[in-house]
Structure 1
Amino acid sequence: MANRKSCFFVGIGGSGMMPLSLILAKRGYRVAGSDRSLDQARLPAKFEALERRGIRLFPQDGSGITSPNQIVIASTAVEETVPDMVAATRMGAERMSRAEMLSRLFNESTMRIGVAGTSGKSTVTGMIGWILHAVGRDPTVMNGAVMKNFVAPDAPFASALVGEGDAFVSEVDESDGSIALYSPDVAVLNNVSLDHKSLEELRRLFGDFAAKAKTAVVNVGDAETAALAAGLNRENLFTFAVEGEADMVAENLSPEPFAIGFDLVTGGECRRVRLAVPGRHNVANALAAIGAAMAAGIPRDIAAEAVQGFAGLKRRFELVGEANGVAIIDDFGHNPDKIAATLDTLHEFPGRLLLMFQPHGYGPLKVMRRELVEMFAKKLKREDQLVLPDPVYQGGTVAREVTSADIVADIAATDADARYIPDRDSAAAHLVATARPGDRIVLMGARDDTLSQLAARMLDDLTS
């Protein structure tokens, strides 16, 4: 690729595309791109940040594809009928998926740390990145979420970090099967549960990924992951668990509303750790990150000390603010396990939950229908209220076999308080009007950064 350093990103504002474009730009590539959200004048601050990094932006009309020497990078969600893709074919430009480009950069690195699992990938990636940064390893980090520790006036969307050190830390995606492209030195596997693919496919993808690594850091506190670990070479395996049996264990958890403490135990040695992010799931995330750091040569206590400074990610149980006794929390929860972890964390403390869950697509609703319904029926308390608007839709063709109305009907049949309000703004207004002191309003969903803007507006509405 040394002679072809011009890349064009179709959908450059996406959570996986933007950080990759920033890494390439920092490494000296000429980077340009287009995005449907840019054409729709959505999230202008994100595109202004890209332009400040020297990245040229074009309408998504094919006008940015001007040379056969460009490498045109697109995610699997981009359709062949998009004008940029038509222009790339006409021009004869090389085409790569986001995962193909990322895996190439990853596999060329000296210390390759890949983070996999159905839930927690972005948080674990951020934690590992922060540990390596804190100890002076100057890593490159590819994340799907904004890492608060690295946010600065000139980097408001810090989902990537480009360092000069030997380590490349990246979350890897199983949803499109591209996890198979990565060859990690350290493979982190946090959990395995239903999301985009069948469990049979997930077991194969995650198992093959972990088997490639010199060290596989595996959460045996998760039943599916423990079953995969049983098939791995024990000499290459480092296990962890929350209140279980493993090489590294967390015990004596002490939850706080927006933090949690625990005893970190390895080889009979114990030290106390307090995270600045809440929930049992984040204890598991921290164990994964400490284990990965240890596999990269960082002593346990140094890694544990550093992880306490991890400030969290945007849209991961993020407190937007409080007004009139009501807290508003913005969260990325979009599959049964992620949402359940958020609800369990919130239910550790008193207060009614008013939830808005915006599904991240009609396809995932079809795949996860039964599991979503069962999870909400189990986790919602009698006083809680759940509202579902229509799934996020940003253009293109899509089959609408299962809708938000179908999910709500199934949940309501279990006697939980679930309501279908098609329009998202109307759903938000309903929750604001319903809220009373002591309530927590939680917005959940993926693939739509405007949810954070909506959360901020809801906070303003509570104060007016």
Structure 2
Amino acid sequence: MDHRKPYFFVGIGGSGMMPLAMILAGQGATVAGSDRSLDQARLPAKFDDLRRRGVALFPQDGSGIVSADQIVVASAAIEATVADMVAAEVVGAERMTRPELLSALFNAAPQSIGVAGTSGKSTVTGMIGWMLHALGRDPTVMNGAVMKNFATPDAPFASALVGEGGTFVSEVDESDGSIALYRPHIAVLNNVSLDHKSLEELRALFGGFIARAATAVVNLDNEEGAALAMALPPGRLLTFAIEGEADLVARGIEAAPFGSSFELVERGGVPVRVTLAVPGRHNVANALAAIGAVRASGVELADAVRAIAGFAGLKRRFELVGEAGGVAVIDDFGHNPDKIAATLDTLHTFPGRLLLLFQPHGYGPLKVMRAELVAMFAAKLAADDLLVLPDPVYQGGTVAREVTSADIVRDVAVTGAAALHIPDRAAAAAHLVAQARPGDRIVVMGARDDTLSLLAADMVERLRG
């Protein structure tokens, strides 16, 4: 794309905004932005990283938007009453949503690989990006999480990679319906389950996404995904499954606390051993999705298997923050029933009590997922596990508080599981640290709040003290 006009990102520190700003800056565009967190002096290292990349930062008071020549890009969390949006209206600046800009970059790429699904998008995107990078394909990667393989002391927030190779890899969001904007050459559908929208809406959005692709890579272990795949011609479909029938099949999974291995069979061929540095059955499925995508892009199977062994994982995806006094602290992005269940299943493969701090990522999602969250916790919490919920993350704006953390805890407690509502997050963390004993695993879970990682690190220090 021709970046003749300067871009101004309102909410530039967001997990979907920051990597997009990084990509534009890396492509030579003039980029500036503002963020509530910057004004509140939260997570200064993130904004220092942006400044090092040549991004100018302004208070979110309208002072950075001064010309009709600017393109103002706003995240979904930004309301029309925010000073920057008012300034954009006054000066007559062109406005774009984040997905409008991202999809324009994505659709313009010579080869585009879009990763969709309720869970696992960021991990699969990171796996694909790493494999293509390791094999010299020099991709551009847009991710919603920091990819450990690309993070350095000088660039700790590596949620994007800018390459020259013509391949654009991006996770694609269904929560706001913007998935309809993307025209992928290769579409990955990892799974479909209830999260932000009804299943009827999700079927339409995901079904349309894979129908627009030259090749769709679909998880047959997921009932909803498998049903959508049936509408596609076999020649445009590459399927994967664990211990099932598909183009790519994983068998003989061997679990380790922070990794796994399995035998990969491609279309009835000779089994090939795959080793992963990320744990859990769900990451085996993620690896199959990623290998399927790079195979569809022309990578040889042996090369893909060799490359994926070097994938180091993502920040906040089952990340071991530290251990002290025989207690491990794990930071995890789990925020919907499927993601949380996958983490709990992985942890329960090995002995030790689980002490969970789950910060919901909003009141709206709690209302949508209430029944499914409660059922999942009732099924997945062991008898001696403890679940603590602080109040949901809130970073400004108007919000309806129809379902709260207290409601979820009350419902979970009725099922017989041990659950507490401690409204203040710091107090919730302190309670778990006080309860911890050798052999326990403390897990900090939640989305849309990067300070959860700081909380997890603080809990390790408290355990050491």
Confirm or deny: 8 A CA contact 1:142 1:160 kept in the other structure: yes
Residue number in structure 1 paired with 2:273: 272
Give 1:393's aligned residue: 394
Query: 1:112: which partner in 2?
Result: 112
| CA–CA separation in structure 1 for the residues paired with 2:79 and 2:370 | 25
- 1:57 & 1:204 partners in 2: Cα distance? 39
1:189-244 Cα offsets, whole Å, 9 max, x none, are 00000000000000000000001111000000111111111111211000000111
Deviations 1:341-395 (A, max 9, x none): 0000000000000000000000000000000000000000000000000000000
Mapping for residues 172-321 of structure 1, pairs under 5 Å:
172-266=172-266, 267-321=268-322
Counterpart Cα distance in 2 of 1:295 and 1:311: 23
SS at match of 2:217: strand
TM-fit CA distance, 1:268? 2.4
Query: Hey, what does 1:29 align to over in structure 2?
Result: 29
* Other structure's SS at 1:96 match: strand
* C-alpha distance in 2 between matches for 1:227 and 1:41: 47
Alignment correspondent of 1:383: 384
How far apart, in 1, do the equivalents of 2:152 and 2:442 lie? 28
- Structure 1 residue 372 and structure 2 residue 380: aligned? no
Q: Percent sequence identity over matched residues?
A: 74
**SS where residue 365 of structure 1 aligns?**
helix
1:156-186 per-position Cα deviation (integer Å, ceiling 9, x unaligned): 1000000000100000000000000000000
Q: How does 1:68-147 map to 2 (within 5 A)?
A: 68-147=68-147
Q: SS of the residue aligned with 1:269?
A: coil
Deviation (angstroms), 1:4: 3.4
Cα deviations by residue, 1:61-106 (Å, 9 ceiling, x for unpaired): 0000010000000112210000000000111000000000000000
Shift of 1:290: 0.4
CA contact (8 A) 1:12 1:34 kept: yes
Aligned equivalent of 1:408: 409
Structure 1: how far apart are the matches of 2:344 and 2:230? Answer: 31
C-alpha separation in 1, matches of 2:83 and 2:378: 44
For residue 154 of structure 1, what is the aligned residue in structure 2?
Answer: 154
1:143–1:171 contact (8 Å) kept in structure 2: yes
Give, as a single letter, the amino acid of the residue that structure 2 aligns with 1:263: E
Aligned to 2:428: 427
Q: Over aligned residues, Cα RMSD in angstroms?
A: 0.7
> Which amino acid letter does the alignment assign opposite residue 21 of structure 2?
S
In the superposition, the TM-score normalised over structure 2's length comes to 0.99
Kindly indicate whether the alpha-carbon contact (under 8 Å) linking 2:62 and 2:87 is maintained by their aligned counterparts in 1.
yes
Amino acid paired to 1:265:
V
Runs of 4+ in 1 over 4 A off after TM superposition: none
CA distance in 2, matches of 1:4, 1:177: 28
- Mapping for residues 345-364 of structure 1, pairs under 5 Å: 345-364=346-365
Equivalents in 2 of 1:293, 1:3: separation in Å? 29
Preserved CA contact (<8 Å) 2:3 2:29: no
Distance in 2, Cα, partners of 1:235 & 1:27: 35
Shift of 1:3: 6.4
Query: Unaligned stretches of 5+ in structure 1?
Result: none
- 1:38 equivalent in structure 2: 38
The residue identity in structure 1 corresponding to 2:324 is A
Amino acid in the other structure paired with 1:190: N
CA distance in 2, matches of 1:269, 1:298: 17
What is the rounded CA distance, in whole Å, between the counterparts of 2:119 and 2:202 in structure 1?
Answer: 13
Q: Distance in 2 between matches of 1:441 and 1:325?
A: 11
Q: 5+ unaligned residues in a row in structure 2: which ranges?
A: none
Distance 1:52 1:242 in 2: 43
Q: Which amino acid aligns with 2:293?
A: A
Counterparts in 2 of 1:406 and 1:6: CA distance versus 1, 3 Å:
same
Q: Say whether the 8 Å CA contact 2:58–2:64 is kept in structure 1.
A: yes
Give, in angstroms, the shift of residue 28 of structure 1: 1.0
| Paired residues of 2:141 and 2:162 also in contact (CA < 8 A) | yes
Displacement after TM superposition at 1:427 (Å): 0.2
Aligned residues: 464
Closer, same or farther: CA 137–26 of 1 in aligned 2, 3 Å = same
Give the equivalent residue in structure 2 for 1:328. Answer: 329
* Equivalent pair of 1:4/1:70 in contact (CA under 8 Å): no
> Would you say the 8 A contact 2:242–2:251 is kept in 1?
yes
The letter for the 1-side match of 2:256 is E
Between 260-269 and 53-62, the greater mean CA deviation after superposition: 260-269
- Write the deviation string for residues 393-424 of structure 1: whole angstroms up to 9, x where unpaired: 00000000000000000000000000000000
Q: Distance in 1 between matches of 2:93 and 2:282?
A: 44
**Deviation of the 1:336 alpha carbon:** 0.2
Q: Determine the C-alpha separation between the residues in 1 that align with 2:211 and 2:320.
A: 38
Amino acid at match of 2:136: G
Cα contact 2:114–2:172 (8 A) shared by 1: yes
How far 1:300 sits from its partner (Å)? 1.0
Alpha-carbon distance, 1:5 to partner: 2.5
- Quote how far apart the aligned CAs of 1:245 are: 1.1
State the alpha-carbon separation in 2 of the partners of residues 154 and 381 from structure 1: 42
Letter in 1 for 2:206: F
